[in-house]
Amino acid sequence: MLSLRKVPWRSLIPLMLLTAGAAYALASWNWCGVWTERAPVLLSQVRGEGSLRAGAAKVALAPPFPVVVAGYSPPRPEAEQADPPVYARAVVLEAGGTRVGLVSLELLSVTSELVARVREQAAAAGLKDVLVMATHTHSSIGGYDRRLVAQLVGIGRYRQESVDAIANAAVAALTQAAGSLTDATLEVGAVREQGLVYTRSGGTPPDGVLTRAVLRGQAGPVAELLVFAAHPAMVPRKRASLDPDYPGRLSALRESEGSGVTLTLQGSAGNASVAFSQGQGLERVAGFARALAELAGKASLSPVGGPVRLSLARVEVAMPRPDASRLVPSLTRAAGDNLLCESAQRVAEVGALALGPLELVTVPGEPTMAAGQELVRRTGATGVLGLTDGYVGYVDTPGMVKEGRGESKRQYFGPTLLERLTVAAELAAGTAGFTR
């Protein structure tokens, strides 16, 4: 009978070092390839002017419980219910033969896959031009993003059932909104309260501006759009249920006050955090929603008379190569780039929406206040809608990226990201007829 000779562990060290070196070399190989730069491409455009019609609806999401709660790195809780419910809210606008749909989802983000599916199904129902937006809630349904980095960082394990539930609610809300179109008037205003928000990472502080657009029918308000910049990360992380955070509570509160279906949308929220400190836990969340509801009531609204302009342009932009230099130690830079490349999309979508005097640039990520100001300056927009039609992460200014400051520590791409998006936004704004 043969006996096995015991091998001293020290003799395995060369093999271990060789294996580790081979793994490091393999991970450091340039798997990204070349990311070609090209000019932005116009995907679609619609423009009209005339009497305004509007319809709105909201549909509760029906998550496939139990579901992972998205918003933070592991460990993540699983939820058995939603309390309060999480919704898809939609507004459909029509003027001069042009029809545009807006749908807001109480999610952390939206993916290009989800956007494409919503648009495809909405088009089958007769609605071709749609913007899909996330409220950026850090306590809602997860599992809807295929990308590995997204699953690891915040969304949780991918489940087709989650995508189905989200898309079905979004399309149902859009379809119901389109079916309820009625003659409407438009009123627009804004109000500022800087004490409610602060910058969490330096750079230009958030401006605390809440923009409000009201669509009124003959029987009363049809819908309301509220644009504000502040991270909805107020709900305690250890929760046994999904929660829409302050955007959902604000929408529900305004709706209970007779404002019609209310879409709470994110502006340049990249470095904006909530400064409200009254109460603890969910009491604080509800308090902040009430404070914003009161602020909305203070906005001085101006009626938009005569024919109303409605236009939407969408532009495809080639993304720069991912850059992990600020995210990982220098020795693992190449491996970090490869990981990002596996999950990063090579193209993204930027848009421009004009509704009367409102001229909004849409960005598929989280622009900081300074990045948003640059977009506004270059396009002549009145504001920015973040987290729209996809997600490419944070967007900070080139200077902050080169210095490794601000939100650039979380940005997946290098210093050219904002310029790429801005050039595409200029094309979209010009096509949509921004007045500058």
Question: Could you give the angle at the alpha carbon of 347 between the alpha carbons of 345 and 348, nearest 5°?
Answer: 95
Q: Which residues contact 412 (CB under 8 A, 6 or more apart)?
A: 149, 322, 323, 324, 327, 340, 344, 392, 393, 394
Which residues fall within 8 angstroms of residue 2, CB to CB, at 6 or more apart?
Answer: none
3-state secondary structure 18-50: HHHHHHHHHHHCCCCCCCCCCCCEEEEEEEEEE
In three-state secondary structure terms, 273 is: strand
Do the bridges between strand 366-367 and strand 220-228 make them parallel or antiparallel, or are there none, so unpaired?
A: unpaired
Of 160, 107, 87, nearest in space to 390 by CA: 107
Residue with tokens 């879409």: 263
Q: Which residues lie across from 186 on neighbouring strands?
A: 215, 304
Write down the pLDDT at residue 132.
98
Q: What is the pLDDT of residue 327?
A: 79
- Residue 320 tokens read as 């720069």
Separation between Cα atoms, residue 351 and residue 204, nearest integer Å: 24
The order of strands in the sheet holding 98-105 is: 130-134, 98-105, 87-95, 53-60, 182-183
Give residue 246's pLDDT. Answer: 98
In this structure, the number of other CB atoms found within 10 A of the CB of residue 284 comes to 18
Q: What are the φ and ψ backbone dihedral angles of 332, each rounded to 5 degrees? A: -110, 20
Question: Please, which residues have CB within 8 angstroms of residue 208's CB and are 6 or more apart in sequence?
Answer: 192, 193, 194, 195, 196, 197
Instruction: Report pLDDT for 52.
Output: 98
- Minimal CA–CA distance to 368: which of 265, 296, 271? 271
Q: Which amino acid is at 434?
A: F
In this structure, are strands 347-355 and 358-362 parallel, antiparallel, or unpaired?
antiparallel
Point out the residues of the chain with pLDDT beneath 70: 1-31, 330
Residue 321 near residue 334, CB atoms below 8 Å: no
Whole-number pLDDT of residue 344: 87
Burial string for 142-154 (b: 16+ CB within 10 Å, else e) reads bbbbebebbbebb
CA atoms of 82 and 387, how far apart (whole Å) = 22
